[in-house]
Amino acid sequence: MSQYRSLQVPEELCQRAEEWIDGRFENLEALVCFTLQELLRTDARKLDHHEEEMIQQRLKDLGYI
């Protein structure tokens, strides 16, 4: 079973996020967990780096770099 921690988030930010959720997520906690998971995904960072290298190579091949 997962352990949980409490975080302090400004009330205004919570209210704005809850308005934005509007059926996208079950609740604010689900949004925060999803966002943190996406930010911490190492595969996403690797993919971004790989895509950047591909774009740079294409620009070199076209003579722009």
What are the two backbone dihedrals, phi and then psi, of residue 9, each rounded to the nearest 5 degrees? -125, 135
Q: What is the pLDDT of residues 7-58, one digit of tens each?
A: 999 999 999 999 999 889 999 999 999 988 887 877 767 777 788 888 888 8
pTM over 0.75: no
For the chain, domain boundaries: 11-61
Is there a contact between 30 and 17 (Cβ–Cβ < 8 Å)? no
